[in-house]
Amino acid sequence: MKRRDLIKKLENNGWWKAREGDNHTIYTNGERSEPIPRHKEINEITAKAILKRAGLK
């Protein structure tokens, strides 16, 4: 999955960028935070796990 598509899904569901880390961008919904790796293409397994932890799948 492309990184921008994953970020778009998060942002459309109320998540926003909290800060930039060294190797990850940290997104939050006010209660939880989720690190998003900085790769153009994110492994499907990793992307599904991020969406599942975010409560989107």
Task: Give the strand pairing for 16-20 and 33-37.
Answer: unpaired
Residues ≥6 apart with Cβ < 8 Å to 18:
26, 27, 28, 33
Query: Does the pLDDT value for residue 57 go beyond 80?
Result: no
Query: Which pTM value belongs to this model?
Result: 0.90
Mean pLDDT, to the nearest integer, of 3-29? 97
